[in-house]
Amino acid sequence: MRAVRVSEEGEPEHMTIGEVPTPSPGPNEVRVKVHATALNRADTFQRRGHYPPPEGASSILGLEMAGVVEEAGEGVIDWQEGDRVFSLLAGGGYAEQVVVHKDLLMAIPPGLSMRDAAAIPEVFLTAYQALHWLGGVRRDHNVLIHAGASGVGTAAIQLAREAGAHPYITASAPKHDVCRDLGAEATIDYESENFADRIAEITDGDGVSIVVDFIGAPYFHQNVEVLAPDGRIIQLATLGGSTVTEVSLRALMAKRAQLLTSTLRDRSLDYKVQLTQEFASDVLPTFIDGQLRPVIDSTYDWTDVADAHRRMENNDNAGKIVLEVVS
């Protein structure tokens, strides 16, 4: 089969389409013909040599896909050849074929295209885990979502809104309209505004119950400042740096704050299965009637993968960047 190969770690132009062995499904696995995949920050980090795949995972880039079942392995009875499916992956999405554990597959809802389906798994499962499993989001919670126009950010806005919470976001000003259209009740320009001051104004000093953050060190002290009592910071990445200086434990204790960190790619199979199946049961039906929707910034033919990666690394996208795999 063909797949995106990284000839050497570094710049986007080091990615090419080349021949690799076609994977075969083992017991409880399914081989899927990939129609579309989507970009995630982890892909750009892995390409540069900073984020190796978990042990046993495919070294091919790509953490999600949508496609059609081609072959079911031993013990698989729930999926048949021709079924339209999509899934979270630990790797392997930038390819014509991928093997997935049967319990990680979800049926693509009626009316949803392959392009749309490929833009859902990584960001919506990450946002669902952050808000529901870690954040304990409730009706009327104030929720601050940093990088609100990112893939996970756009998913988190919608999930917070559907939970009856009040989503507020930070993003550059040109991306605010996208966030407001999804349900953000307040938008903050991180380039020109102090988000801690704005949150104090927006909430009349009450603060937020949940902060979902991808930036890390530069935002840490302000994240603590904006928390309401018993608030939670959900740290999902450290794009701005990972070392925080002069941390005051007293400031955290004064808020009875919780700092919760998480990754998803290296979680156990059982964890991912539970998360996927809960999401499929509780959330996936809302995509059918349009209550939730993937936000797609742009679509590229997978042969133009280098251009797609440049767009993400330049922070030009608002929402997901999708690759259509033509075979």
Domain carrying residue 46: 2-120+265-324
End-of-domain residue from the set 261, 292, 309: 261
List, as one string, the DSSP characters of 68-87.
EEEEE-TT--S--TT-EEEE
Rounded to an integer, what distance in angstroms lies between the CA atom of residue 122 and that of residue 294? 11
* Pair (153, 110) in one structural domain: no
Distances (CA, A) of 48 to 10, 57, 65, 313: 4, 18, 22, 12
pTM of the prediction? 0.97
End-of-domain residue from the set 261, 290, 309: 261
Rounded to an integer, what distance in angstroms lies between the CA atom of residue 210 and that of residue 129? 13
- What residues contact residue 23 under an 8 Å CB cut-off, 6+ apart? 31, 58, 92, 97, 98, 99
Written as six digits, the tokens of 167 are 């989503």
CATH code of the domain containing 320? 3.90.180.10
Q: How many domains does the chain have?
A: 2
CATH code of the domain containing 175? 3.40.50.720
pLDDT in tens, the chain (327 residues): 999 999 999 999 999 999 999 999 999 999 999 999 999 999 999 999 999 999 999 999 999 999 999 999 999 999 999 999 999 999 999 999 999 999 999 999 999 999 999 999 999 999 999 999 999 999 999 999 999 999 999 999 999 999 999 999 999 999 999 999 999 999 999 999 999 999 999 999 999 999 999 999 999 999 999 999 999 999 999 999 999 999 999 999 999 999 999 999 999 999 999 999 999 999 999 999 999 999 999 999 999 999 999 999 999 999 999 999 976
* Pair (256, 293) in one structural domain: no
Written as six digits, the tokens of 327 are 């075979």
* Pair (144, 250) in one structural domain: yes
Q: How far apart are the first and last CA of the chain?
A: 9
* Pair (114, 129) in one structural domain: no
* Pair (255, 164) in one structural domain: yes
End-of-domain residue from the set 232, 261, 290: 261
* Pair (98, 130) in one structural domain: no
Q: Are 49 and 34 in contact (CB under 8 A)?
A: no
What local confidence, expressed as pLDDT, does residue 269 receive? 97
* Pair (164, 180) in one structural domain: yes
